[in-house]
Structure 1
């Protein structure tokens, strides 16, 4: 009986969703037809949707006034009441659809405090988010000001744009000091280069640590702007910061041969397996070879890193050396230099190998970092750079998207990790 009732509820929900969808479709069609007949634009300043937005906001304001007074407009119950409506005041607010002129209801006692459009506010919810989104995409305050003026006919000063973006500094500080999980299955450490003016414009490395927890979820653990002269001492500062925020153990750390990092890892997490990132190793190999040979080289290298055992990988590397050593000796030296850090990969179960090779998240993040920083050319300060990078990291979260999606088939991966690191996983 309960099963049938549950099925009926689900069917009713689907019907309701279908009805809502049909109603929304009809409204959209009516709006389009009205825009065509009246000869007005659908979006932009003076567009039909801006008019609809005005009606919705004014209706919401009138409803708030009725709730405040305790009776509806024109209701006889309001006769002789202590407080009453007292006309309207004009106000223009900025919305995602452009500037909208509103009639704000007033009460005689001056006690009405609207929540939809708060007193002294000239922007509805979403306007600040739009500024932050543009800032995260690398636009300068001047470019944002021009964009808002051109697209939304909004007269927004550079000072206001700066004030909105500066408001994230506290969030950034809290984010950089938030507590982390006790154990991470894998931590990827990568770097990009940005330009920062410190007396003169100079290249500065930005290091990013992305972790995969034992629950299979990914997270950006930390970001640091380096000084350019990185070594074990500086790296130990970064990793100690992660330890102080709660990271007691890391099973596997993947990086791209960053100077001084191996020594710092051994000091911070002596049991961690430090693995050279295979994706970066292959990509760096292609830098030393001609494009016409890339397909053959990547196929041969795939045979090395997919080998079932270390002996099999060594044999395939010898074959690779015989084929390409004369033409591309730099590629051979690259693999020989990184061989000791590459070989731990060969001892892992296939599920763990797939996990380590899954660098899509950090690659996507770096791509968005580069897009945002390339537009600017350089940053005036480290804080200005960190604000943009932080907004890039949190952009999907602010948009309400799920950024903490679990690794696919995580149960199988965790089983493989448990076989390799049983005591350290079972204890946590």
Structure 2
């Protein structure tokens, strides 16, 4: 197991999916609250791999995420196009500090779940259907932002606080559209070369 945790990582990654799992761990006949931080990476060739998992006997926090990111850097990871996470406070600042050229994508699955929790059933179904359409059919990042603004404006009067929260994070909900466009341009350029 120690070889897995110390092995060298690729210097470049397309995306990291990061999350913390909260659980109880039995240690020396005592149950302790823990957070297990998991990092799933996809390299530039599209290969998936667990880059690391880390156990901390504390609640999820920014300081521990910084330790995780520093370990990834120490093991060779230098550049990442996109990091996908939930909206945990502090992750954005940790990413900006250690990976300043990396886009931070907020997880759309978490957003859809929050929509179901914050809106009534009929509204949440409409909103999530439109959100899926934005994800799959936006021409580019700017088009996606415009469509998300239009969608939010339809529900703003009924759910003002929740919609304000979505709009304050809209760029991070749609970061992947910037990369999709870059990838398409790279693919076209490579074909014409």
**Structure 2-normalised TM-score?**
0.78
1:186 maps to 2:15:
yes
CA distance in 2, matches of 1:338, 1:200: 40
Give 1 or 2: higher strand fraction: 2
Per-residue deviation at 1:190?
1.8
Q: How does 1:139-178 map to 2 (within 5 A)?
A: 172-178=1-7
Q: How does 1:264-413 map to 2 (within 5 A)?
A: 264-305=94-135, 306-349=137-180
Alignment deviations for residues 76-103 of structure 1 (CA, whole Å, 9 cap, x no partner): xxxxxxxxxxxxxxxxxxxxxxxxxxxx
2:35 is aligned, of 205, 217, 242, to 205
Give 1 or 2: higher helix fraction: 1
* Structure 2 unmatched ranges of 5 or more: none
Per-residue deviation at 1:197?
5.4
Per-residue deviation at 1:325?
2.3
Per-residue deviation at 1:259?
2.5
Alignment deviations for residues 117-161 of structure 1 (CA, whole Å, 9 cap, x no partner): xxxxxxxxxxxxxxxxxxxxxxxxxxxxxxxxxxxxxxxxxxxxx
**Structure 1-normalised TM-score?**
0.39
Q: 1:327 to 1:246 in 2, by over 3 A?
A: same
Per-residue deviation at 1:224?
1.6
Per-residue deviation at 1:191?
2.4
* Structure 1 unmatched ranges of 5 or more: 1-171, 353-414, 423-428
Alignment deviations for residues 324-381 of structure 1 (CA, whole Å, 9 cap, x no partner): 223333431331232232243332326x8xxxxxxxxxxxxxxxxxxxxxxxxxxxxx
How many residue pairs get aligned? The number is 186
C-alpha RMSD of the superposition: 3.0
Q: 1:276 to 1:229 in 2, by over 3 A?
A: closer
Tell me which structure has the larger Cα radius of gyration. Answer: 1
Instruction: Give the number of the structure with larger relative contact order, counting CA–CA contacts within 8 Å between residues 6 or more apart.
Output: 2
Alignment deviations for residues 266-287 of structure 1 (CA, whole Å, 9 cap, x no partner): 3322222222222322232222
CA distance in 2, matches of 1:228, 1:252: 25
Partner of residue 73, structure 2: 243
